[in-house]
Structure 1
Amino acid sequence: MLPECQPQPEPECRVLSIQSHVVRGFVGNKSAAFPLQVLGFEVDLVNSVQFSNHTVCDPVMGDKRNGDGYMYVPENLLPVYKGKVVPLADIITPNQYEAEILAGKKMNTEKEAIEVMDVLHAMGPDTVVITSSDLPSALGDNYLVTLGSQRKVIAGGLRVTERIRMEIPKVDAVFVGTGDLFAAMLLAWTHQHPNNLKIACEKTVSALQHIVTRTISNAKALAGVGKKPSAAQLELRVVQSKEQIENPEIIIHATTI
């Protein structure tokens, strides 16, 4: 008589997501929760604020506007981010402006960007992805550059750093919630591929590009021929892109630097 097999519980991955919430649209927790759930995570949500829809209120530290840096949060919070928040993080996803003010260094070249990421590594995080930068692209002015760096331990206890670069086509539209969506999917894919930043970033960026492309196409159809889509029409088509979130076709490739 064969022994009875004891059923095994399914592995559980759980994320505590503390972000803003909107009733309508996709930003903050609304943008992050669905892709994490689709990719197998239990998500516990704490809404830092609740609005009817997104406004100029943004959870990021700052960004560039017309080439100039602009802080969304009071400048006296910068030491809190540098001294308390970033050192606790395993993964950070700043834009170029945020990376520069956190590191205290400008990045006008790829070499300087690597130096900035090394400063951020020294603050604590093992994975740093600069989500967008205005570094020159070999493919031309119509591309943004994303850079990533991951410190990891390989066989024999040797510590190495993997660096990647991605060229992403620019789109002629303004979206809200793409950063939150990027961070959520990167968290999921780095969990799936903990020692392969290249694949994790390719899946994250490709999925985001699928969503953005779908959103623009739908927004233009809603707006009508010759009309510019409104902000409401450009709400990210996250739920409709479930298949691309779960199993993204790789359309944006990373190169190792």
Structure 2
Amino acid sequence: MEECRVLSIQSHVVRGYVGNKSATFPLQVLGFEVDSINSVQFSNHTGYAHWKGQVLTAEELNVLYEGIKLNNVNHYDYVLTGYSRDVSFLEKVVDIVQELKKANPSLVYVCDPVMGDHGAMYVPEDLLPVYRDKVVPTADILTPNQFEAELLTGRKISTEKDAIEVMDLLHAMGPETVVLTSTDLPSKSGDQFLVALGSQRIVRADGTNGRQRIRMEMPKVDAVFVGTGDLFAALLLAWTHHHPNDLKAACEKTLSAMHHVIKRTMTYAHEMAGPTKRPSPAQLELRMVQSKADIENPTVVLEATVL
């Protein structure tokens, strides 16, 4: 594959896997050059009892970007962004993406619009209009969870039909590809499964526009993982690159690789914690390096249904 370069603007932790630490290794293993801007530098993720560190300001982000630009090495094939909790920082990200798209009109912007989950926002509420009015229209691939998709469209999702309508509303806002990474929709396989849905705008052989829509079911895991959303967005970037017009194949490889990583992490965490104790945040850090082979060439264990 010809050299493909990703600018990833996400958080960084010294210990563990979240943000850029979750995204960079898998992308490199899959053959991408990754340039990282660390939106925060923390000792570890905030699920631990203690954490320390620094937050990058919008101005500091701009300084780093200016340095890249002055050397004329600001040519990117992809931009990847995740968690942000500052309005001016997020607006600066949009400015940078728009400028990079002018330089390379075929650039693909993959955005995980991280705002909250299960009905609660964990970023300031003034980020919502920025995501809705500026970020989403600039994005090409969007990976919200159900709650984030509902926030962005102002529509509730209670049925699969609702979910499809919400994905269509998101397409209308800009993105070619939308994946609802997790929903509360009932699984056909029983309570132990989570449902994800995806939709991709396609041009049919006869030149008309259509959609490829898929549904996937993933086994639920009784543990709190951090960094899985960041891993998902990075893997989806990679596999949509390898399967540009086949959302089914891209999602099957993405979710199967994640399944392997999570399974290995769970096994390790329970071994470390012992049979009677719940694993600690440190024991539940993703087993990323140990999963290199699964990331590189995932055995497809989760199949998608075309809707």
Q: Compute the TM-score of the two structures, normalised by the length of structure 1.
A: 0.93
Q: What SS does the corresponding residue of 1:75 show, helix, strand or coil?
A: coil
CA deviation profile, 1:177-228 (whole Å, cap 9, x unmatched): 0000000000000000000000000000000000000000001111112221
Residue in structure 1 matching 2:155, options 105, 108, 112: 105
- How far apart are 1:156 and its partner, in Å? 3.4
Q: What SS does the corresponding residue of 1:141 show, helix, strand or coil?
A: coil
Alignment-derived partner of residue 62 in structure 1:
116
Return the alpha-carbon distance in structure 1 between the equivalents of residues 202 and 133 of structure 2.
Answer: 23
Q: What SS does the corresponding residue of 2:126 show, helix, strand or coil?
A: helix
**1:1-257 alignment, distance < 5 Å:** 11-55=2-46, 59=83, 60-64=114-118, 69-257=119-307
Return the alpha-carbon distance in structure 1 between the equivalents of residues 230 and 246 of structure 2.
Answer: 21
Q: What SS does the corresponding residue of 1:15 show, helix, strand or coil?
A: strand
Q: Which amino acid aligns with 1:18?
A: I
Q: What SS does the corresponding residue of 1:225 show, helix, strand or coil?
A: coil
Aligned length: 244
Alignment-derived partner of residue 57 in structure 2:
none
Gaps of 5+ in 2: 52-81, 84-113
Return the alpha-carbon distance in structure 2 between the equivalents of residues 235 and 115 of structure 1.
Answer: 36
CA deviation profile, 1:103-150 (whole Å, cap 9, x unmatched): 110011000000000000000000000000110111111110000000
- How far apart are 1:72 and its partner, in Å? 1.5
Q: Which amino acid aligns with 1:111?
A: K
- How far apart are 1:157 and its partner, in Å? 2.0
- Cα RMSD (Å) of the superposition? 1.2
Q: Which amino acid aligns with 1:132?
A: S
CA deviation profile, 1:28-50 (whole Å, cap 9, x unmatched): 00000000000010000000110
CA deviation profile, 1:43-74 (whole Å, cap 9, x unmatched): 0000011000000599221111xxxx111111
Q: What SS does the corresponding residue of 2:198 show, helix, strand or coil?
A: strand
Q: Which amino acid aligns with 1:62?
A: G
Return the alpha-carbon distance in structure 1 between the equivalents of residues 124 and 278 of structure 2.
Answer: 34
Q: Identity over the aligned pairs, expressed in percent?
A: 70
Gaps of 5+ in 1: 1-9
Q: What SS does the corresponding residue of 1:147 show, helix, strand or coil?
A: strand
